[in-house]
Amino acid sequence: MNEQSRPKQQNTAAELGELFLRMPAQQHELVQGLMKATSPNSLDPLNLGGAFMELAQAMTRNPMQMLDAQFDLARDYARLWQNTAQKALGLDVEPVATPDPGDRRFRHDDWSEHLLFDFLKQSYLVTSRWVQTQVEEAEGLDEVHRKKVRFYTKQFTDAVSPTNFLLTNPEVLRETVRTRGANVVRGLRNLLNDFDVENGKLNISMTDKAAFEVGRNVATAPGKVVFQNDVFQLLQFEPATATQFQVPLLIFPPWINKYYILDLKPENSFIRWALSQGHSVFVVSWVNPDERLAAKTWEDYYNEGISEAIDATLRACDHDQVHAIGYCIGGTLLASGLACMAANDDKRVKMATFFAAQVDFSEPGDLEVFIDEKQLANLDTMMAKTGFLDASAMSTSFNMLRANDLIWTFVINNYLMGKDPYPFDLLYWNADSTRMPRALHMFYLQQMYQHNRLSQPGGITLNATPVDLRRISIPVYLQASREDHIAPYNSVFKAAGLYQGPVRFVLAGSGHIAGVINPPASGKYCHWTNDAAPGELDAWLAGSTEHKGSWWPDWHAWAAPQLGEQVPARAPGSGGLQVIEDAPGSYVRA
């Protein structure tokens, strides 16, 4: 055994020696990178100072409340010490604090069975919950500031969890002993590889990017690019049935990410599944913009994106209407376009489906904490330098919404355990994010998130037409997900009270991505339906029926009777558009 371990020991020592020889130069590069990332304008880019100052003032206004809170904390600590002592004597005791049901940080047996680590876990839970309770119970704190303080307090308490440090994580300690420190060497190397010295940023690797290639093992549904302009390429996919519905399906994904969330692996591809059900599928693949598109506006993306894609699809199919799907921000743009079309008696869209798409932003979810005057001004100043928002900036914001799952899990795995990220198609797509044009992005954040103008009649205009969502009278399928932090289901539901046509609302299990991408064959999650027209959300939920598995068949059963007769399957390029190149196209590879 000792003989077998000797080469590994020697290799580890050599790797450590090499690492320490490289340290001075790398340390210098890291410091330079951090200095580049730090400027007077970035000292408080999230505009937290005022919010936390107001919290401090609110707490000092009620000293008795603070005294009671400190007494409660001291009492819980005393109970914890007493329980730990009793447990040390072999007695069975009820824990003072236990992790929430969905908290996976403390799954290792040592967190419950080892006296020291059980004490660390419980003391952390007691303290972090106490801190968050003080934020919730502070009297006189402005609700906007409370939301911001609540969010960043949670970020802080998540960051200081004992699971995130080598000496207080039993699983990491066991791995360090087992590998004789090799995990530390590998972890440091992973950390250095992930650090972008030029920009002073840590880009945490979430998956093995070398394991995937667009067009090889993701985004593989066969098809062709049949139209393109500066804003998008239009993909038409090969039919999977001998006949197809007369009304084609045109999908508008969010431009924040690339379209192939709808076409990851064949077994979880919504595009392939829709083709198998007889839909004639077209998908917009948005361009990954650079400085040349800096001035592109919301109106431009409607005219050159939504409208031109509809026209191109109709030419390809020799038909006069489409069934349009809008996903997330793609749905927000689609809704504004449908209102403009309704005002101009434009009937090119027969029916519409929205995946996790908000149009009323009065309760926009956790992303609201990133939206205020100062933060938007800082963001605009940053985008003015390049003409676009770098993809990593938006990705970081989304990851912060689920920091334990999308940040700290990988810190532990990559840097403490010293493991390489696991190949995962969804996380590969998540990392393959896109830039956003300055004018378009600022309009979206200011007019939607900050001022909620899309839900107000005439709040915005498209092509000099006041946009009023209440003009939309076509049939609408509205999907939301129960655990969606980006487009909360209560926010998505508000659209049901705006559209005047028949609306079917369906609530899926899971979150913003897994709630949508849930193929029937997987048998995962569940969904809720209510055949009554949506009214008040609480009444809809009370009268809803839970169904096991995917909501996709419900969507197809709703859509199919409205899609006209069956026609011979349409091969890409067989209609009024010529083939430009094979799917997935060149835009998605940029």
Phi, psi (5° rounding) for residue 498? -105, -45
The pairs formed by 44-49 with CB atoms below 8 angstroms and a separation of 24 or more are: 45/375, 45/378, 46/152, 46/370, 46/375, 47/148, 47/372, 47/374, 47/375, 47/378, 48/148, 48/152
- For the record, the structure tokens of 450 come out as 């900050």
Tell me how far apart the alpha carbons of residues 368 and 361 are, in angstroms, rounded to a whole number: 9
Residues 505 and 534 sit within 8 Å (Cβ to Cβ): yes
The DSSP bridge pattern shows strands 223-228 and 249-252 to be: unpaired
Phi, psi (5° rounding) for residue 478? -115, 115
Active site residue 317: no
52 to 46, 138, 369: CA distances (angstroms): 12, 12, 13
If 0-12 CB within 10 Å is exposed, 13-18 middle and 19+ buried, where does residue 122 land?
buried
Tell me how far apart the alpha carbons of residues 255 and 289 are, in angstroms, rounded to a whole number: 10
- For the record, the structure tokens of 7 come out as 């080469």
Given the residues 317, 328, 340, 526, select the one marked as catalytic: 328
Residues paired with residue 201 on neighbouring β-strands, in sequence order: 196
Tell me how far apart the alpha carbons of residues 268 and 272 are, in angstroms, rounded to a whole number: 8
Length of the chain: 590
Residues 427 and 406 sit within 8 Å (Cβ to Cβ): no
Nearest to 498 by CA among 366, 260, 332: 332
104 to 100, 111, 157, 183: CA distances (angstroms): 9, 11, 15, 22
Residues 438 and 380 sit within 8 Å (Cβ to Cβ): yes
Q: Reduced to 3 states, what is the DSSP secondary structure of residue 229?
A: coil
Please identify every residue annotated as catalytic.
328
